[in-house]
Amino acid sequence: MGMSRRGALGVAAGSALVLAAGQGRSQVSGRGEDAGRAPPDPTEQIRLWPNGAPGGQGVSVTPVVPERSSDPAYHDRYAQYTTDPIVTVFRPERSNGSALLLAPGGGYRWAVVDKEGYDVARVFAASGTTCFVLRYRLPGDGWAAGPDAPLQDVQRAMRLIRARAGDYGIRPDRVALLGASAGGHLAGLASARRDVVYAPIDASDQEGFRPDLSMLMYPVATMADPFVHAGSREFLLGVDPAPARIEAYSLEKMSWAGAAPMFLVHAMDDASVPVENSLQLLAALKAGGVKAEAHLFQEGGHGFGVRLIRGRPAETWPDLFRAWAARLDFAL
């Protein structure tokens, strides 16, 4: 492909999912019916790189955020060709002291905005967690850091959240990271890697860059055959990456000693990212002495987020995640 190619490839209240987004609140029933309009987007955002993202000299893409939904009750957007990474802030009505940074999926071709971002953030904001949805750069858009460009954004976001903990009423030692699909791979990199992948630019970069707790949803974990999600590998590493490069970006091959506790969710019938991605990673976490819990659902497919599994067993994953985190003295 050559990495310059572009675009080739809840919390239940009764039966209702409560959606809270800072100023407003709406309720969506288990059938996805509400007053007929999607809840408004939060207006609070943080630019990660006030003087421009690093390594952008060879970048010439134009950002787009297409809408795929034709139903006014919900959005289904994705961000592609991002050049100015941001986090969108979901403030709860009353903070429980924790923060959750969300890295949605998109196969490293784009980053989902709603399904694994805003939709999930509203669920955890409803129970008191301050949520930050990351719109990250993509590795094939010409950034000097290549496959580490999105990791630069995650590390910078983690540091900014901790640096501004007082502004958000959170504890700097209670910052969790949730990644879904390819965003799960990104969250895994951010959890395992001990090296900072960008030069510091201000005082915020004195803060820690690894999460205190991680959750990976149906993650793209391996870059190796036969269980790799081929599209994610191609957009991350190119058409024919060397074996050493494949190993370097395969989560199950990384050293996990000292990493934060991790929670895994996957559906056994996932036809896009085989469940072996989570199984192999779980074995690596155990070998590395990482506290971990995994929930494998018989059905659910891929990319279910919170909206696409209502009425199915995997619908319980937010409560399972909260219960596990609570046992680690981490309110979500």
The pLDDT of residue 25 is 35
The pLDDT of residue 35 is 62
The pLDDT of residue 310 is 80
Q: Which two tokens stand for residue 242?
A: 């060397």
Q: Give the mean pLDDT of 157-180.
A: 98
Provide, rounded to the nearest whole percent, the portion of the chain with pLDDT above 70.
89
pLDDT band of 17, cuts 50, 70, 90 = very low
What 3-state DSSP class applies to 228? coil
What DSSP string describes 48-103? S-TT--TT-TT-----B--B----TT---BEEBS-SS-EEEEE--SS--S-EEEEE
Gyration radius of the chain over CA positions: 18
What 3-state DSSP class applies to 100? strand
The pLDDT of residue 74 is 93
pLDDT band of 120, cuts 50, 70, 90 = very high
Q: Is 149 within 8 Å of 221 (Cβ atoms)?
A: no
Dihedral over alpha carbons 105, 111, 112, 114 (to 10 degrees)? 120
The pLDDT of residue 36 is 83
Mean pLDDT (the chain) is 90
* pLDDT tens figures, 229-244: 999 999 999 999 999 9
Rama region for 134: left / alpha / beta (φ>0; ψ in -120 to 50; rest)? beta
| Separation CA 54–CA 152 (nearest Å) | 9
Q: Give the mean pLDDT of 280-305.
A: 96
Q: What is the DSSP letter of 125?
A: H
Q: Give the mean pLDDT of 122-136.
A: 98
Q: Is 90 exposed, middle or buried (0-12, 13-18, 19+ CB in 10 A)?
A: buried
| Separation CA 308–CA 324 (nearest Å) | 23
What DSSP string describes 161-172? HHHTHHHHT--T
H helix runs in the chain, sequence order: 119-125, 149-163, 165-168, 182-192, 230-237, 243-248, 276-287, 317-327
Is pLDDT above 80 for 100?
yes
Q: β-strand 130-135 against 213-217: which pairing, if any?
A: unpaired
Q: What is the DSSP letter of 39?
A: P
What 3-state DSSP class applies to 211? coil
Q: Give the mean pLDDT of 50-55.
A: 96
